[in-house]
Structure 1
Protein backbone atom coordinates (compact mmCIF):
# COMPACT_ATOMS: atom_id res chain seq x y z
CA UNK A 1 0.00 0.00 0.00
CA UNK A 2 1.32 3.45 -0.89
CA UNK A 3 2.19 5.56 2.19
CA UNK A 4 1.76 9.36 1.92
CA UNK A 5 4.15 11.59 3.84
CA UNK A 6 3.35 15.19 4.79
CA UNK A 7 4.63 17.67 2.24
CA UNK A 8 5.25 21.37 2.81
CA UNK A 9 4.23 23.35 -0.29
CA UNK A 10 5.03 26.80 1.24
CA UNK A 11 7.03 28.84 -1.20
CA UNK A 12 6.43 26.45 -4.09
CA UNK A 13 4.80 27.64 -7.31
CA UNK A 14 1.33 26.47 -8.28
CA UNK A 15 2.75 24.80 -11.40
CA UNK A 16 5.15 22.71 -9.32
CA UNK A 17 2.31 21.70 -6.98
CA UNK A 18 0.10 20.66 -9.92
CA UNK A 19 2.96 18.69 -11.42
CA UNK A 20 3.51 16.91 -8.10
CA UNK A 21 -0.10 15.78 -7.83
CA UNK A 22 -0.15 14.68 -11.50
CA UNK A 23 2.87 12.47 -10.88
CA UNK A 24 1.31 11.12 -7.69
CA UNK A 25 -1.88 10.26 -9.58
CA UNK A 26 0.04 8.34 -12.22
CA UNK A 27 1.81 6.32 -9.52
CA UNK A 28 -1.50 5.35 -7.93
CA UNK A 29 -3.74 4.82 -10.94
CA UNK A 30 -1.34 2.99 -13.25
CA UNK A 31 -0.71 0.00 -10.94
CA UNK A 32 -4.47 -0.33 -10.35
CA UNK A 33 -5.08 -0.43 -14.12
CA UNK A 34 -2.34 -2.99 -14.66
CA UNK A 35 -3.70 -5.09 -11.80
CA UNK A 36 -7.17 -5.08 -13.37
CA UNK A 37 -5.76 -6.15 -16.76
CA UNK A 38 -3.75 -8.97 -15.17
CA UNK A 39 -6.79 -10.14 -13.18
CA UNK A 40 -8.91 -10.31 -16.35
CA UNK A 41 -6.15 -12.22 -18.15
CA UNK A 42 -5.62 -14.79 -15.39
CA UNK A 43 -9.37 -15.26 -14.97
CA UNK A 44 -9.77 -15.98 -18.71
CA UNK A 45 -6.86 -18.45 -18.73
CA UNK A 46 -8.11 -20.15 -15.57
CA UNK A 47 -11.58 -20.58 -17.12
CA UNK A 48 -10.02 -21.96 -20.32
CA UNK A 49 -7.97 -24.55 -18.42
CA UNK A 50 -10.95 -25.60 -16.33
CA UNK A 51 -13.04 -26.16 -19.47
CA UNK A 52 -10.25 -28.35 -20.87
CA UNK A 53 -9.80 -30.45 -17.73
CA UNK A 54 -13.16 -30.72 -15.96
CA UNK A 55 -14.11 -33.86 -17.92
CA UNK A 56 -10.83 -35.62 -17.05
CA UNK A 57 -11.61 -36.32 -13.40
CA UNK A 58 -13.66 -35.66 -10.31
CA UNK A 59 -11.69 -32.73 -8.88
CA UNK A 60 -9.56 -30.09 -10.62
CA UNK A 61 -6.98 -27.82 -8.95
CA UNK A 62 -5.35 -25.15 -11.12
CA UNK A 63 -2.38 -23.12 -9.85
CA UNK A 64 -1.71 -20.39 -12.42
CA UNK A 65 1.38 -18.23 -12.17
CA UNK A 66 0.62 -14.51 -12.64
CA UNK A 67 1.87 -12.82 -15.81
CA UNK A 68 5.06 -10.81 -15.76
CA UNK A 69 4.48 -7.21 -14.54
CA UNK A 70 6.92 -5.97 -17.19
CA UNK A 71 4.67 -6.97 -20.10
CA UNK A 72 2.07 -4.62 -21.60
CA UNK A 73 -1.65 -5.27 -21.01
CA UNK A 74 -3.14 -8.20 -22.97
CA UNK A 75 -6.29 -6.99 -24.72
CA UNK A 76 -8.96 -9.52 -25.73
CA UNK A 77 -6.97 -12.53 -24.45
CA UNK A 78 -7.50 -15.78 -26.36
CA UNK A 79 -5.81 -18.75 -24.61
CA UNK A 80 -4.62 -21.85 -26.46
CA UNK A 81 -2.58 -24.98 -25.75
CA UNK A 82 0.71 -25.19 -27.68
CA UNK A 83 0.36 -28.99 -27.73
CA UNK A 84 -3.33 -29.49 -28.52
CA UNK A 85 -2.96 -33.29 -28.75
CA UNK A 86 -1.77 -33.66 -25.16
CA UNK A 87 -4.03 -33.51 -22.10
CA UNK A 88 -3.23 -30.42 -19.97
CA UNK A 89 -2.01 -32.19 -16.83
CA UNK A 90 0.87 -31.47 -14.46
CA UNK A 91 3.11 -28.56 -15.38
CA UNK A 92 1.87 -27.01 -18.59
CA UNK A 93 2.51 -23.92 -20.69
CA UNK A 94 -0.52 -21.95 -21.87
CA UNK A 95 -0.31 -19.60 -24.83
CA UNK A 96 -2.36 -16.40 -24.97
CA UNK A 97 -2.97 -14.32 -28.09
CA UNK A 98 -3.50 -10.64 -27.37
CA UNK A 99 -4.80 -7.63 -29.28
CA UNK A 100 -7.49 -7.08 -31.87
CA UNK A 101 -5.70 -9.16 -34.52
CA UNK A 102 -4.13 -11.43 -31.87
CA UNK A 103 -0.64 -10.80 -33.19
CA UNK A 104 0.93 -10.64 -29.74
CA UNK A 105 1.55 -14.01 -28.08
CA UNK A 106 2.67 -14.64 -24.53
CA UNK A 107 2.92 -17.76 -22.38
CA UNK A 108 1.84 -18.47 -18.81
CA UNK A 109 2.85 -21.42 -16.63
CA UNK A 110 0.38 -23.51 -14.66
CA UNK A 111 0.27 -26.58 -12.45
CA UNK A 112 -2.87 -28.63 -13.08
CA UNK A 113 -3.83 -31.46 -10.75
CA UNK A 114 -6.83 -33.63 -11.61
CA UNK A 115 -8.07 -36.28 -9.22
CA UNK A 116 -9.78 -39.05 -11.14
CA UNK A 117 -9.77 -42.68 -12.31
CA UNK A 118 -7.16 -44.31 -14.54
CA UNK A 119 -6.69 -47.82 -15.89
CA UNK A 120 -4.02 -50.22 -14.63
CA UNK A 121 -3.24 -53.86 -15.34
CA UNK A 122 -5.29 -56.21 -13.14
CA UNK A 123 -2.79 -59.00 -13.79
CA UNK A 124 0.58 -59.63 -15.40
CA UNK A 125 0.06 -59.28 -19.16
CA UNK A 126 2.61 -60.94 -21.50
CA UNK A 127 3.99 -59.27 -24.59
CA UNK A 128 1.86 -59.73 -27.71
CA UNK A 129 -1.42 -60.13 -25.79
CA UNK A 130 -4.64 -58.60 -27.01
CA UNK A 131 -6.07 -56.67 -24.05
CA UNK A 132 -9.61 -57.35 -22.80
CA UNK A 133 -11.77 -55.65 -20.18
CA UNK A 134 -11.07 -58.43 -17.68
CA UNK A 135 -7.34 -57.60 -17.76
CA UNK A 136 -7.91 -54.05 -16.49
CA UNK A 137 -8.54 -52.51 -13.10
CA UNK A 138 -9.24 -48.93 -12.01
CA UNK A 139 -7.33 -46.75 -9.56
CA UNK A 140 -7.92 -43.16 -8.40
CA UNK A 141 -5.25 -40.54 -7.98
CA UNK A 142 -3.68 -37.33 -9.27
CA UNK A 143 -3.58 -37.68 -13.04
CA UNK A 144 -1.11 -34.80 -13.18
CA UNK A 145 1.53 -36.99 -11.53
CA UNK A 146 1.32 -39.61 -14.28
CA UNK A 147 3.50 -39.57 -17.36
CA UNK A 148 2.23 -37.42 -20.20
CA UNK A 149 2.13 -40.57 -22.36
CA UNK A 150 -0.05 -42.54 -19.93
CA UNK A 151 -3.28 -43.86 -21.47
CA UNK A 152 -5.85 -43.41 -18.69
CA UNK A 153 -9.04 -44.35 -20.57
CA UNK A 154 -9.78 -48.09 -20.54
CA UNK A 155 -11.71 -47.84 -23.83
CA UNK A 156 -8.54 -46.62 -25.56
CA UNK A 157 -6.62 -49.63 -24.23
CA UNK A 158 -9.03 -52.53 -24.83
CA UNK A 159 -8.45 -54.32 -28.12
CA UNK A 160 -4.82 -53.24 -28.51
CA UNK A 161 -1.80 -55.54 -28.41
CA UNK A 162 0.98 -55.21 -25.85
CA UNK A 163 4.44 -54.39 -27.18
CA UNK A 164 6.11 -55.48 -23.93
CA UNK A 165 5.11 -57.30 -20.71
CA UNK A 166 2.90 -55.21 -18.41
CA UNK A 167 3.15 -55.90 -14.67
CA UNK A 168 0.11 -56.05 -12.43
CA UNK A 169 -0.82 -52.59 -11.11
CA UNK A 170 1.16 -50.76 -13.82
CA UNK A 171 -0.27 -48.02 -16.01
CA UNK A 172 -0.29 -48.27 -19.80
CA UNK A 173 1.97 -45.99 -21.83
CA UNK A 174 1.17 -45.12 -25.43
CA UNK A 175 4.35 -46.82 -26.64
CA UNK A 176 3.33 -50.02 -24.79
CA UNK A 177 0.35 -50.52 -27.10
CA UNK A 178 -0.17 -51.18 -30.77
CA UNK A 179 -3.23 -51.74 -32.89
CA UNK A 180 -3.98 -55.43 -33.56
CA UNK A 181 -2.54 -56.76 -36.81
CA UNK A 182 -5.09 -56.89 -39.57
CA UNK A 183 -2.48 -57.72 -42.19
CA UNK A 184 0.55 -60.01 -41.83
CA UNK A 185 3.65 -60.15 -43.98
CA UNK A 186 3.37 -62.73 -46.78
CA UNK A 187 -0.45 -62.78 -46.57
CA UNK A 188 -2.61 -62.49 -49.67
CA UNK A 189 -4.55 -59.23 -49.40
CA UNK A 190 -7.06 -57.23 -51.43
CA UNK A 191 -6.16 -53.68 -52.42
CA UNK A 192 -9.01 -51.33 -53.34
CA UNK A 193 -8.71 -48.16 -55.41
CA UNK A 194 -11.86 -46.12 -55.95
CA UNK A 195 -13.00 -42.72 -57.06
CA UNK A 196 -16.17 -40.87 -58.01
CA UNK A 197 -17.01 -43.20 -60.90
CA UNK A 198 -14.80 -46.26 -60.54
CA UNK A 199 -13.78 -49.01 -58.12
CA UNK A 200 -10.93 -51.44 -58.77
CA UNK A 201 -9.83 -54.34 -56.55
CA UNK A 202 -6.57 -56.23 -56.97
CA UNK A 203 -5.02 -59.10 -55.09
CA UNK A 204 -1.42 -58.92 -53.94
CA UNK A 205 1.03 -60.02 -51.30
CA UNK A 206 1.63 -57.94 -48.15
CA UNK A 207 5.29 -57.15 -47.56
CA UNK A 208 4.78 -55.80 -44.02
CA UNK A 209 2.62 -56.37 -40.96
CA UNK A 210 0.00 -53.70 -40.40
CA UNK A 211 -2.76 -52.52 -38.08
CA UNK A 212 -5.73 -50.29 -38.72
CA UNK A 213 -4.82 -47.17 -40.78
CA UNK A 214 -1.16 -48.18 -41.00
CA UNK A 215 0.52 -48.11 -44.41
CA UNK A 216 1.81 -51.37 -45.85
CA UNK A 217 3.73 -52.26 -48.99
CA UNK A 218 1.99 -54.70 -51.34
CA UNK A 219 3.65 -56.62 -54.18
CA UNK A 220 1.80 -57.38 -57.41
CA UNK A 221 3.54 -59.94 -59.60
CA UNK A 222 7.32 -59.89 -59.56
CA UNK A 223 8.08 -56.18 -59.99
CA UNK A 224 5.18 -53.89 -59.12
CA UNK A 225 5.08 -52.65 -55.52
CA UNK A 226 2.48 -50.25 -54.14
CA UNK A 227 1.83 -48.74 -50.72
CA UNK A 228 -1.72 -48.88 -49.31
CA UNK A 229 -3.54 -48.20 -46.04
CA UNK A 230 -5.04 -51.01 -43.94
CA UNK A 231 -8.82 -50.55 -43.54
CA UNK A 232 -9.96 -54.05 -42.49
CA UNK A 233 -8.79 -57.62 -42.03
CA UNK A 234 -6.82 -58.44 -45.21
CA UNK A 235 -8.15 -55.32 -47.00
CA UNK A 236 -6.22 -52.19 -47.93
CA UNK A 237 -7.07 -48.96 -49.73
CA UNK A 238 -5.01 -46.77 -52.05
CA UNK A 239 -5.25 -43.10 -51.01
CA UNK A 240 -5.08 -40.60 -53.84
Structure 2
Protein backbone atom coordinates (compact mmCIF):
# COMPACT_ATOMS: atom_id res chain seq x y z
CA UNK A 1 0.00 0.00 0.00
CA UNK A 2 2.78 2.39 0.98
CA UNK A 3 4.69 1.45 -2.20
CA UNK A 4 1.68 2.33 -4.35
CA UNK A 5 1.32 5.63 -2.50
CA UNK A 6 5.02 6.39 -2.95
CA UNK A 7 4.92 5.60 -6.69
CA UNK A 8 1.89 7.77 -7.27
CA UNK A 9 3.41 10.57 -5.20
CA UNK A 10 6.68 10.39 -7.16
CA UNK A 11 4.80 10.60 -10.47
CA UNK A 12 2.87 13.61 -9.24
CA UNK A 13 5.98 15.43 -8.04
CA UNK A 14 7.92 14.60 -11.20
CA UNK A 15 5.16 16.34 -13.10
CA UNK A 16 5.94 19.58 -11.26
CA UNK A 17 9.73 19.00 -11.20
CA UNK A 18 10.08 18.07 -7.50
CA UNK A 19 11.17 14.42 -7.70
CA UNK A 20 14.25 15.09 -5.55
CA UNK A 21 12.03 16.06 -2.64
CA UNK A 22 10.58 12.54 -2.50
CA UNK A 23 13.97 10.92 -1.77
CA UNK A 24 14.76 13.60 0.80
CA UNK A 25 11.49 13.00 2.61
CA UNK A 26 11.77 9.21 2.54
CA UNK A 27 15.24 9.48 4.09
CA UNK A 28 13.81 11.78 6.74
CA UNK A 29 11.04 9.31 7.54
CA UNK A 30 13.56 6.51 8.02
CA UNK A 31 15.57 8.59 10.51
CA UNK A 32 12.53 9.86 12.31
CA UNK A 33 11.34 6.27 12.82
CA UNK A 34 14.65 5.41 14.50
CA UNK A 35 15.83 3.10 11.70
CA UNK A 36 19.61 2.64 11.72
CA UNK A 37 21.06 4.03 8.45
CA UNK A 38 22.65 1.36 6.27
CA UNK A 39 25.96 3.22 6.10
CA UNK A 40 26.46 2.84 9.87
CA UNK A 41 27.62 -0.78 9.52
CA UNK A 42 30.37 0.13 7.05
CA UNK A 43 31.25 3.13 9.22
CA UNK A 44 31.73 0.84 12.24
CA UNK A 45 34.01 -1.42 10.18
CA UNK A 46 36.04 1.59 9.02
CA UNK A 47 36.40 2.76 12.62
CA UNK A 48 37.50 -0.66 13.91
CA UNK A 49 40.24 -0.87 11.28
CA UNK A 50 41.38 2.74 11.72
CA UNK A 51 41.60 2.46 15.52
CA UNK A 52 43.54 -0.81 15.32
CA UNK A 53 46.12 0.88 13.10
CA UNK A 54 46.38 3.97 15.28
CA UNK A 55 47.48 2.47 18.61
CA UNK A 56 50.40 4.14 20.46
CA UNK A 57 53.71 2.60 19.40
CA UNK A 58 55.61 0.66 22.03
CA UNK A 59 52.68 0.56 24.44
CA UNK A 60 51.47 -2.44 26.40
CA UNK A 61 48.48 -4.35 24.95
CA UNK A 62 45.36 -2.21 25.10
CA UNK A 63 41.74 -3.33 25.19
CA UNK A 64 39.87 -1.01 22.87
CA UNK A 65 36.23 0.01 23.19
CA UNK A 66 34.55 2.05 20.45
CA UNK A 67 31.20 3.71 21.08
CA UNK A 68 29.48 5.32 18.12
CA UNK A 69 27.01 8.03 19.02
CA UNK A 70 23.90 9.18 17.19
CA UNK A 71 23.54 11.74 14.46
CA UNK A 72 21.69 14.91 15.36
CA UNK A 73 18.01 13.94 15.45
CA UNK A 74 17.14 17.16 13.63
CA UNK A 75 19.08 16.08 10.54
CA UNK A 76 17.10 14.99 7.49
CA UNK A 77 19.56 13.28 5.16
CA UNK A 78 18.78 12.38 1.58
CA UNK A 79 19.47 8.74 0.64
CA UNK A 80 23.04 8.11 -0.49
CA UNK A 81 24.49 5.17 -2.42
CA UNK A 82 28.04 5.68 -1.10
CA UNK A 83 28.98 7.33 2.19
CA UNK A 84 32.66 7.97 2.97
CA UNK A 85 33.91 8.18 6.57
CA UNK A 86 36.87 10.49 7.19
CA UNK A 87 38.78 12.04 10.06
CA UNK A 88 38.33 15.84 10.19
CA UNK A 89 41.56 17.90 10.33
CA UNK A 90 42.91 18.38 13.84
CA UNK A 91 41.07 15.40 15.32
CA UNK A 92 42.33 11.96 16.34
CA UNK A 93 40.73 8.62 17.14
CA UNK A 94 41.32 8.92 20.87
CA UNK A 95 38.92 9.75 23.70
CA UNK A 96 35.85 11.81 22.87
CA UNK A 97 36.12 12.79 19.23
CA UNK A 98 34.09 12.94 16.04
CA UNK A 99 34.04 11.28 12.65
CA UNK A 100 33.06 12.96 9.41
CA UNK A 101 30.59 11.32 7.01
CA UNK A 102 30.07 12.66 3.50
CA UNK A 103 27.77 11.53 0.74
CA UNK A 104 29.63 10.89 -2.52
CA UNK A 105 26.83 9.38 -4.60
CA UNK A 106 23.38 10.76 -3.98
CA UNK A 107 20.79 13.19 -5.25
CA UNK A 108 21.95 15.63 -2.57
CA UNK A 109 25.57 15.80 -1.38
CA UNK A 110 25.75 16.14 2.39
CA UNK A 111 28.43 16.20 5.08
CA UNK A 112 27.76 15.46 8.76
CA UNK A 113 29.72 14.68 11.92
CA UNK A 114 29.19 11.64 14.11
CA UNK A 115 30.21 11.67 17.82
CA UNK A 116 32.56 8.82 18.70
CA UNK A 117 34.18 7.76 21.98
CA UNK A 118 37.37 5.68 21.91
CA UNK A 119 38.47 4.02 25.15
CA UNK A 120 41.81 2.23 25.51
CA UNK A 121 42.11 0.12 28.66
CA UNK A 122 45.55 -1.01 29.76
CA UNK A 123 47.93 -1.25 32.70
CA UNK A 124 49.35 2.01 34.04
CA UNK A 125 50.98 3.44 37.14
CA UNK A 126 48.38 4.95 39.48
CA UNK A 127 48.93 7.13 42.54
CA UNK A 128 48.06 5.25 45.75
CA UNK A 129 47.76 8.12 48.21
CA UNK A 130 48.58 11.81 48.27
CA UNK A 131 51.76 13.23 46.72
CA UNK A 132 52.58 16.85 47.47
CA UNK A 133 53.75 19.23 44.76
CA UNK A 134 57.55 19.15 44.60
CA UNK A 135 57.83 15.70 46.23
CA UNK A 136 59.92 13.02 44.53
CA UNK A 137 58.03 9.87 43.52
CA UNK A 138 59.02 6.51 44.98
CA UNK A 139 57.83 2.93 44.46
CA UNK A 140 55.62 3.30 47.54
CA UNK A 141 53.66 6.15 45.97
CA UNK A 142 52.19 4.20 43.05
CA UNK A 143 50.71 0.86 42.04
CA UNK A 144 49.74 -0.83 38.79
CA UNK A 145 46.09 -0.74 37.73
CA UNK A 146 43.99 -0.83 34.57
CA UNK A 147 42.92 2.62 33.39
CA UNK A 148 41.52 4.24 30.28
CA UNK A 149 44.58 5.64 28.50
CA UNK A 150 42.36 7.76 26.26
CA UNK A 151 40.48 9.45 29.11
CA UNK A 152 42.83 12.44 28.82
CA UNK A 153 44.91 13.82 25.96
CA UNK A 154 48.22 13.62 27.88
CA UNK A 155 50.13 10.40 27.24
CA UNK A 156 50.44 7.72 29.92
CA UNK A 157 53.90 7.24 31.48
CA UNK A 158 54.28 3.46 31.32
CA UNK A 159 58.02 3.00 31.95
CA UNK A 160 59.04 3.17 35.65
CA UNK A 161 62.39 4.69 34.65
CA UNK A 162 60.46 7.71 33.40
CA UNK A 163 58.83 8.54 36.75
CA UNK A 164 60.93 7.02 39.54
CA UNK A 165 62.65 9.86 41.40
CA UNK A 166 60.83 12.49 39.35
CA UNK A 167 59.18 15.44 41.08
CA UNK A 168 55.43 16.11 41.07
CA UNK A 169 54.54 19.33 39.23
CA UNK A 170 51.37 19.62 41.29
CA UNK A 171 49.62 17.79 44.11
CA UNK A 172 48.65 14.27 43.01
CA UNK A 173 45.69 12.41 44.49
CA UNK A 174 44.78 8.76 44.86
CA UNK A 175 43.61 7.08 41.65
CA UNK A 176 45.34 9.43 39.22
CA UNK A 177 47.26 7.69 36.45
CA UNK A 178 50.72 9.13 35.84
CA UNK A 179 50.74 11.14 32.63
CA UNK A 180 53.12 13.46 30.86
CA UNK A 181 53.06 16.96 32.31
CA UNK A 182 52.39 15.73 35.85
CA UNK A 183 56.04 15.25 36.81
CA UNK A 184 59.45 16.71 36.00
CA UNK A 185 63.07 15.68 36.55
CA UNK A 186 64.45 16.42 40.01
CA UNK A 187 67.17 19.03 40.46
CA UNK A 188 70.41 17.51 41.74
CA UNK A 189 72.10 20.85 42.45
CA UNK A 190 71.17 24.52 42.45
CA UNK A 191 72.71 27.55 40.82
CA UNK A 192 75.76 28.65 42.81
CA UNK A 193 76.77 25.13 43.86
CA UNK A 194 80.42 24.08 43.61
CA UNK A 195 80.70 21.17 41.20
CA UNK A 196 83.25 18.98 39.47
CA UNK A 197 83.73 19.47 35.73
CA UNK A 198 84.93 16.71 33.42
CA UNK A 199 86.40 18.17 30.26
CA UNK A 200 86.69 15.71 27.37
CA UNK A 201 88.35 16.22 24.04
CA UNK A 202 90.07 14.27 21.29
CA UNK A 203 92.36 11.89 23.17
CA UNK A 204 92.29 13.60 26.56
CA UNK A 205 90.17 14.10 29.68
CA UNK A 206 90.79 16.47 32.57
CA UNK A 207 88.89 17.25 35.74
CA UNK A 208 88.48 20.70 37.23
CA UNK A 209 86.30 22.60 39.66
CA UNK A 210 83.60 25.05 38.69
CA UNK A 211 80.49 26.86 39.83
CA UNK A 212 77.01 26.07 38.55
CA UNK A 213 75.26 29.07 37.01
CA UNK A 214 71.98 27.18 36.56
CA UNK A 215 70.16 24.37 38.33
CA UNK A 216 71.25 20.86 37.38
CA UNK A 217 69.01 18.04 36.20
CA UNK A 218 70.57 14.68 35.30
CA UNK A 219 70.81 14.29 31.54
CA UNK A 220 70.06 17.96 30.91
CA UNK A 221 72.48 20.81 30.04
CA UNK A 222 73.71 23.21 32.71
CA UNK A 223 75.82 26.36 32.51
CA UNK A 224 79.11 26.30 34.42
CA UNK A 225 81.66 29.00 35.28
CA UNK A 226 85.19 27.64 35.18
CA UNK A 227 88.01 28.75 37.51
CA UNK A 228 89.49 30.84 34.68
CA UNK A 229 86.22 32.75 34.35
CA UNK A 230 85.04 31.10 31.14
CA UNK A 231 81.35 30.12 31.00
CA UNK A 232 80.52 26.83 29.30
CA UNK A 233 77.58 24.44 29.00
CA UNK A 234 77.69 20.70 29.63
CA UNK A 235 75.60 17.66 30.50
CA UNK A 236 74.77 16.95 34.14
CA UNK A 237 75.97 13.45 35.07
CA UNK A 238 75.08 13.34 38.77
CA UNK A 239 74.68 15.56 41.83
CA UNK A 240 78.29 16.78 41.64
CA UNK A 241 79.48 16.33 38.05
CA UNK A 242 79.03 18.11 34.72
CA UNK A 243 80.66 16.82 31.55
CA UNK A 244 81.96 19.24 28.93
CA UNK A 245 83.00 18.14 25.46
CA UNK A 246 85.33 20.35 23.44
> What are the ranges of 5 or more consecutive residues in structure 2 without an aligned counterpart?
9-40, 70-82, 100-113
Does the 8 Å contact 2:157/2:180 carry over to 1?
Answer: no
2:59 is equivalent to residue 53 of structure 1: no
Does the 8 Å contact 2:91/2:97 carry over to 1?
Answer: no
Of residues 151, 154, 163 in structure 2, which corresponds to 1:149?
154
SS in 2 for 1:127: coil
Of residues 89, 96, 99 in structure 1, which corresponds to 2:94?
89
1:50-81 residue CA offsets vs partner (Å, 9 max, x unmatched):
1442855542124689xxxxxxx99xxxx9x9
2:193 is equivalent to residue 190 of structure 1: no
The CA distance in 1 between the partners of 2:232 and 2:43, in whole Å, is: 53
SS in 1 for 2:52: helix
CA apart distance, 1:136: 0.5
2:182 is equivalent to residue 176 of structure 1: yes
The CA distance in 1 between the partners of 2:68 and 2:194, in whole Å, is: 54
Q: 1:199 to 1:162 in 2, by over 3 A?
A: farther
Runs of 4+ aligned structure 1 residues displaced above 6 Å come to 3-6, 39-45, 81-84
**Structure 2 length-normalised TM:** 0.54
CA apart distance, 1:216: 0.9
**Structure 1 length-normalised TM:** 0.55
Q: Considering only aligned residues, what root-mean-square deviation do their CA atoms show, in Å?
A: 5.1
The CA distance in 2 between the partners of 1:57 and 1:45, in whole Å, is: 19
Does the 8 Å contact 1:124/1:168 carry over to 2?
Answer: yes
The CA distance in 2 between the partners of 1:206 and 1:93, in whole Å, is: 50
1:95-130 residue CA offsets vs partner (Å, 9 max, x unmatched):
xxxxxxxxxxxxx99642112233221122233332
Does the 8 Å contact 2:95/2:117 carry over to 1?
Answer: yes
Q: 1:60 to 1:83 in 2, by over 3 A?
A: same
